[in-house]
Structure 1
Amino acid sequence: MRPTLTFVVAAARNGVIGAKGRTPWRLPSDLKRFRELTLGKPVLMGRRTFDSIGRILPGRETVALSRDPSFRPAGVHLARTEEEALGCAESLAAAMGVDEAAIIGGAEIFAAFLPLADVIHLTEVALTVDGDAVFPALDPRDWRETERIAPTRAAGDEADFAFVRLERTRGGKAQRAVAGEEA
């Protein structure tokens, strides 16, 4: 059985998730939640997201998708295609004994894997900001909100926010084909 593909993302009201390789807000509460949601699981990201983080995240296996042959950071599972990245994340989840793989960005990765996602953990950031990375629009017919938590701002949080869980509605788990075969 394939693992659940989960997006973990924070987005401003206007869908912005990044600006010039950085997050355009500071939310320590969201970083804590991100850690809780991804710890012990494989995380799949693009090269630019890996570069913005600048390191392997402790307690997780990192799959980085890049077509740049010179991109070879130590300790990272490299993938050159979406299919290879997905297969690697699924194999790592099985090897780690977990039933979930987390996709953590950036915008191009979210857009490429959106048709395959099962769950979205979205932090809605109560800001409208300029940026060059935008989360893809969601078809409301495909997603239903199953949880919403609006915590009080903690020390260092620069904006109000809500933690929202969305689950795919059409057909349960997303259907996917890998290497030309139905999953």
Structure 2
Amino acid sequence: MITIVAAIGHNNALGKDNQLLWRLPKDLKHFKTVTENHPVIMGRKTYESIGKALPNRTNIVVSRKQNWFQEGILIVSTLKEALKFAKKIHENVFVIGGGEIYKQTIDAADRLEITQVEGNFEADTFFPKIDPKIWQKTFEECHQKDDKNDYDFCFQTFEKIIN
């Protein structure tokens, strides 16, 4: 199973200048719970924005950059190669960004784990449109902003509709 994990604004905003647009510790905790002990696939820019390998996960980074190396991660040159390697490790694979990796993966994905952040945000990176003819929302849990979380947000799960 391929699951995409992303936090997006109402305008599908993901980030700007390789940074997140919000501070949501509850979402980061949720992300950790969902992805821990599984392979995670990300692009090089996403990895650089995180700044280190995510603990208790096999970190697979897709990069076209030659001679690029980071301790604790597997670097591959294509998304196809990343998916092939990840599926050898575990049947459940998580794709965690960024925008280009999401665009390349959404058609192959089986599930979307989306944190819908309340608001429209100025961004330079966006998530692909979630087509209701392809994706059915099967779960939603909403949270109010508080002293630690800057925005209202909802955890949503979408399953691919099988025709």
TM-score by length of 1: 0.86
User: Which residue in 2 is equivalent to 1:180?
Assistant: none
RMSD (Å), alpha carbons: 1.0
User: Which residue in 1 is equivalent to 2:30?
Assistant: 33
| 1:141 and 1:170 in contact (8 A); partners too | no
Q: CA deviation at 1:153?
A: 3.3
1:161 correspondence with 2:158: no
Query: Any idea what SS the aligned residue of 2:96 has?
Result: strand
Query: Any idea what SS the aligned residue of 1:124 has?
Result: strand
Deviations 1:68-90 (A, max 9, x none): 01321122111101211111111
User: Which residue in 1 is equivalent to 2:130?
Assistant: 138
1:69 correspondence with 2:60: no
1:42 correspondence with 2:39: yes
| 1:107 and 1:133 in contact (8 A); partners too | yes
- C-alpha distance in 1 between matches for 2:13 and 2:144: 22
User: Which residue in 1 is equivalent to 2:5?
Assistant: 8
1:58 correspondence with 2:51: no
1:20 correspondence with 2:17: yes
Deviations 1:69-112 (A, max 9, x none): 1321122111101211111111121xxxxx31100000000000
Q: CA deviation at 1:134?
A: 0.1
1:117 correspondence with 2:106: no
Gaps of 5+ in 1: 94-98, 172-183
Structure 1 stretches of 4+ moved >6 Å = none
| 2:144 and 2:151 in contact (8 A); partners too | no
| 1:29 and 1:154 in contact (8 A); partners too | no
| 1:77 and 1:88 in contact (8 A); partners too | no
2:93 to 74, 97, 101: 101
- C-alpha distance in 1 between matches for 2:138 and 2:154: 13
Gaps of 5+ in 2: none
Deviations 1:32-61 (A, max 9, x none): 100000000000000000000000001101
The percent of aligned pairs where both chains have the same amino acid is 33
| 2:63 and 2:75 in contact (8 A); partners too | yes
Query: Any idea what SS the aligned residue of 1:115 has?
Result: coil
User: Which residue in 1 is equivalent to 2:140?
Assistant: 148
Count, aligned residues? 163
User: Which residue in 1 is equivalent to 2:75?
Assistant: 78
